[in-house]
Amino acid sequence: MSAGRDRKRLAFVIAHLGPGGAQRVAVNAANTLVDRGIDLHVILVGENKNVYRLDPRITLHAAGAGSAVDDASDADTIETKRKSNLDTRGGKDRGSGGVIGLARELLPHGTFRGAISRYVLTPAFFAAGLAKRTFWLRRKIKSIEADAVLSFLTQTNILTVLATRGLNTRTVISERNDPRLQRHRRRVELLRKFLYRHADIVTANSRGALTALEAFVPRDKLAFLPNPLALPASIEVASLEAPTIITVGRLVEQKGLDVLIAAWASAAPRLPGWRLAIVGDGPLRGELEALAQTLGVANSIDWYGHLTDPFPLVCAAKFFVLTSRFEGTPNALLEAMACGLPGVVSDASPGPCELAGEDESAGLIVPVEDVSATADAIVKLASKEPLRKRLSAGALDRASEYEADRALSVWLKLLRCE
């Protein structure tokens, strides 16, 4: 801590504060840490947007025009190890316009043009952009005089490690997904494997993800960083006319909503009067609605879009379903469990399984992308109220381990900001 300051100064680095699990965690943690007397700064290296309420005592810094990180978020993820029925990629073709696009147009057509573009132009412009963003972030961190920096998500982690090299600032980075299954472009994968080991601490929000990170990070630098569970002081429970099953998440390929809708098409005829609520928005909404129509279950699904406060609706539901193809520790599932909802979760990644419990004491675990098993689990949980009550008690008990004060004590210890 710098001389003349009586409070620890901490900087969070994140691409943006738009809809997303990492963004929700960052905002919840920042708002709680301010109450603990931390001088909190949030640095946005991507889009300057915020769908969550950030405490006014927190200082927000955003990249200006020409400095913003176009590809700093994990939108540069290109695929998972499993394919879905909906072929959507997170990666964007960033070379179709701008300087790179113009340079490509000036090259001769044919194989030579493609090779130069792929192996020379794209890497060169990526490196130049990375250097520019690194210097911007480094200047910002130095001007804040942060005692510690915590960054969120892979590409922002890479940028933060580069920006803090040689600074007297403790650097902690956090993976928010399953490194075994989430795939980035090759250049990002290589930078992660080379640079992560240079952070002071590398964290993950599931113990299974830490095991995966051991492949390229020294074990003594790895630490579990639990998601802090921040519930509103009082929850007004929504009024639902029918017993409802709920899921909350971005409508993207990772979340496996196509699997859920297919499973619901099998389960719904066996559960007359029940409904499925889908909370969240994203690029696949139109395709998913069309799938529901094709499978004949459109009339039993309620689409709520993105909700800043989903708690009233979640607490009114009977149980939660998560059919993701990969996850870290999903906030939506954790928050549902804190409302007493048991879950049906896929076994794709360790995080959801850790929450449900190896003994399934807080939820039922089904094979990833197994429509039949997911449908059977939905029917089983909907049909057996004693089972729901038993798993509800287990969900509440497991969620208590992530209560904000307990979780953030771990954060502050790792950041050395106690």
- pTM as predicted: 0.76
Helix axis angle for 371-383 and 257-267, nearest 10°, is 60
Measured in degrees and rounded to the nearest 5, phi and psi for residue 10 equal: -125, 135
Tell me the domain boundaries of the chain.
9-92+129-229+404-415, 244-402
Rg of the chain's alpha carbons, rounded to an integer? 22
How is domain 9-92+129-229+404-415 classified at the CATH fold level? Rossmann fold (3.40.50)
**Cα 191 to the center of its chain, rounded Å:** 20
- Side chain identity, residue 163: A
Say whether 244-402 and 9-92+129-229+404-415 share the same fold. Answer: yes
Contact status, residue 328 vs residue 351, Cβ threshold 8 Å: yes
How is domain 244-402 classified at the CATH fold level? Rossmann fold (3.40.50)
Task: Give the number of other Cβ atoms within 10 Å of residue 354's Cβ.
Answer: 18
pLDDT in tens, the chain (418 residues): 655 567 899 999 999 998 888 898 999 899 999 988 999 999 999 888 788 889 999 999 998 644 444 333 443 443 344 444 443 333 333 344 454 554 555 555 555 455 554 544 455 666 777 888 899 999 999 999 999 999 999 999 999 999 999 999 999 999 988 777 766 778 888 999 999 999 999 999 888 889 989 999 999 999 999 999 877 766 789 999 999 999 999 999 999 999 999 999 999 999 999 999 999 999 999 999 999 999 999 999 999 999 888 999 999 999 999 999 988 888 899 999 999 999 999 998 888 999 999 899 999 999 999 999 999 999 999 999 999 999 999 999 999 889 988 999 999 999 999 8
The position carrying tokens 């969620």 is 399
- Side chain identity, residue 270: R
Determine how β-strand 9-14 pairs with β-strand 39-44: parallel
